[in-house]
Amino acid sequence: MKKSFYPSLALDGIKKNKRMYFPYILTFIGIIAMFYIISFLQFSASVKLLPSGETVALIMKFGSLVISIFAVIFLFYTNSFLIKSRKKEFGLYNILGMNKRDIGKILFYETLFVYLISVGLGLFLGIVISKLAELGMVNIMGGKVDYNFYISPDSCVFAIVIFGIISLLIFVNCLRQIKFSTAVSLLKSENHGEKPPKANWVFGILGVLVLAVAYYLAVLVKNPISALSMFFIAVILVIIGTCLVLISTSVLICKILQKNKRYYYKKNHFISVSSMSYRMKRNGAGLASICVLATMVLVMISTTSCLYFGKEDSINSRYPRDINIDFIYNDISGLDDDITKNINKTILDISKENNIKPNNVSIGKSVFISGILNKNKVDVNPTLGKVMNTSVMNNLCTFYFIPISDYNNLTQKNEKLNKGEVIISAIRKDFSGNSLCFGNTVFNVVKTVDDFKIKGQMSVNTNPIIMVFVNDFKELDNIAKLKSKNGDNAAGFRLEYGFDVNINKEQQIDFAKNFEKSYGNRIFDCGKEKIDSIFVEGREVNRADFYGTYGGFFYLGIILSTVFIFAAVLIIYYKQISEGYEDKDRFNIMQKVGMTKKEIKKNVNSQLLTVFFLPLVFSLLHLIFAFPMIRKMLLLFSLNDTSLFLITTFISFAAFALLYAIVYKKTSNSYLKIVSNIK
């Protein structure tokens, strides 16, 4: 036998089954190209030269890991459609005298050819557009463009090795299926339907309960840290619940439709419902896969686009002025008016020496302390066991004590308080008590407000925040003396000093970076040894980090969403094609007994519309319940604009729904063409 015999059979098999192989190879190429691009950006010298280059490289590294894991799952899943379509051919080879080892050789060459074509074209495509991708990322992040073209050897090696291993695993899985199949079972595999499944109420109820738990976690999570820790648990529960519900629901839908005689015994519905009832377990699994991918795309693109388009709001929230200086004191006496006046005078003098004219000067004082809020009592020194308890963790709050005069200046109001009275503003936390107790210190809550907006250092605090507006800091002496377990002060004492300037970006960056180094001694002298530390920050100094981090996430979101959309489209396509070949004989018989092509088209549309839009409905449901949890997680990035997130989420869903409808139309045409040659 010639050495070229098995390779020829393999190539011939790919050509004859090009309708199944072409989209598979095309997607394989796309995944490899995307993997190379992300890996290329991870090692890109231009990206590393950006101010936040290391952060972006880390994001890209995470992205390449996600694509690698997804590629394993997805390529195995789609390959199952391919191997099923080839089993009849392999069964015929077996009957004609070819043993399982010979069939294995054909499979080996098929896998090898697909791998070589996919890796070759995938790397070529990735290399060709990698520079464009790099330029796009650098432009998004506001960096300097480098037009030198180069290839990343590390990225090429990673792609060749990783996808080589995946192809090897797919080949082994195909061998396993052939080995444990008889020639007869291989011949009948393509036309082998499932037994009519029973509506499994246990799985259905279990799926609903699992989804209810996931939704409960998403809706009732209180703070960003809890949201981040619960997010992955909720994702796993949603995947499991979606599979259980869609499999059982799709079966139940068929059962209900069959019992409805007015609906079932009509020529437009009878065949479609009967056909679906024999493959609903697999159909439900396919719908669940599409639903999970759709949800991933919607969550990813809405979140990352919200971060990117809301980056200016995040910067302005985190840095309220062009130059922001935080003073941390050793004790509460550092917040005395005399020290504050000296600091103000010194900073104004330093600004004048540098030909800087400060305007919109903002001075804010605060005493802050963390503790567990139980009704109206605060435990500022909890045990480790309490802190690690999830239910207690949601009650871990940071309390900021602020003079009522600062509140009036910020809100343009004229509130007045007596000794022992406070006004409360709870952020990301419910508070309805009439008093607030810190040990023996009890404050009388005369009012609660919800219109106070936090900025600066407070905006990055991940715990729920309780703003406590007091008449005078002298009322906080007992709180200032509270000690932690290691003997340090439990409370912190901060002065936030900010101002806008009349200089350009480069001068702002230079002034902010050199402020502490050049003028630190003069500032410390103002504090009379009470200043513990000084932190100088500026919008322009940190703008590049914001642009880099948010731009990196946005870019990764686009790439991963593209991969997941291709995957969903391919699953829909294979689902339609494989079911078309299964139903072809049935529709041929029906045409012979008098069914017209117009009636076939109505049957097909009825079948597809019955279950096809279930994934879209479920993905919308998942997105609605995930909204509060994702909203909390966005607070970790100083993004407080709920309306922007709502808009990006709505636009993302509308765009995806339109794409989904287009895919439905195109794939339904493929199904129609197979079963009856209708275009």
The model's pLDDT over 88-117, given as tens digits with 9 standing for 90+, comes to 777 777 676 777 788 888 888 888 999 999
Q: Which of 30-34, 144-148, 166-170, 436-440 has the highest mean pLDDT?
A: 166-170
Residue 384: predicted pLDDT: 47
Is pTM beyond 0.85 here? no
User: Percent helix, strand and coil across the chain, each rounded to 5?
Assistant: 70, 10, 20
| Listed residues 131, 160, 192: the one ending a domain | 192
- Domain presence at residue 348: yes
- Domain presence at residue 59: yes
Stated as kind and residue range, the H or E segment containing 251 is: helix 224-259
Residue 328: predicted pLDDT: 86
Q: What is the mean pLDDT of the chain?
A: 78
- Domain presence at residue 86: yes
Q: CA torsion angle for 611, 616, 621, 625 (degrees, to 10)?
A: 150
Cα 576-595-573 angle, rounded to 5 deg: 5
- Domain presence at residue 219: no
In this predicted structure, the answer to whether residue 165 has a pLDDT above a threshold of 90 is: yes
| Listed residues 192, 214, 232: the one ending a domain | 192
Expressed as residue numbers, the domain containing 442 is 320-538
| Listed residues 499, 514, 538: the one ending a domain | 538
Residue 123: predicted pLDDT: 92
- Phi/psi at 160 (nearest 5 deg)? -60, -45
- Domain presence at residue 425: yes
Percentage, residues of the chain above pLDDT 70: 79
What digits encode the pLDDT tens for the residues 648-670?
Answer: 889 989 988 888 888 877 777 77
In this predicted structure, the answer to whether residue 626 has a pLDDT above a threshold of 60 is: yes
Q: CA torsion angle for 197, 201, 204, 209 (degrees, to 10)?
A: -160
Domain shared by 375 and 522, yes or no: yes
- Domain presence at residue 76: yes
- Domain presence at residue 641: no
Q: What angle separates helix 100-140 from helix 18-43, to the nearest 10 degrees?
A: 40
In this predicted structure, the answer to whether residue 55 has a pLDDT above a threshold of 90 is: no
Domain shared by 183 and 330, yes or no: no
What digits encode the pLDDT tens for the residues 4-31?
Answer: 777 888 888 888 877 778 878 888 888 8
What digits encode the pLDDT tens for the residues 502-533?
Answer: 888 888 888 887 777 777 777 776 765 677 88
Residue 452: predicted pLDDT: 74
Residue 119: predicted pLDDT: 93
Look at the chain and report how many structural domains it folds into. 2
In this predicted structure, the answer to whether residue 193 has a pLDDT above a threshold of 80 is: no
What digits encode the pLDDT tens for the residues 353-392?
Answer: 888 888 888 888 888 888 888 888 888 776 544 555 555 6
Q: Distance between CA 642 and CA 637 in Å, rounded? A: 13
What digits encode the pLDDT tens for the residues 438-476?
Answer: 877 888 988 888 767 777 777 777 778 888 998 888 888
- Domain presence at residue 526: yes
Residue 318: predicted pLDDT: 83
In this predicted structure, the answer to whether residue 71 has a pLDDT above a threshold of 90 is: no
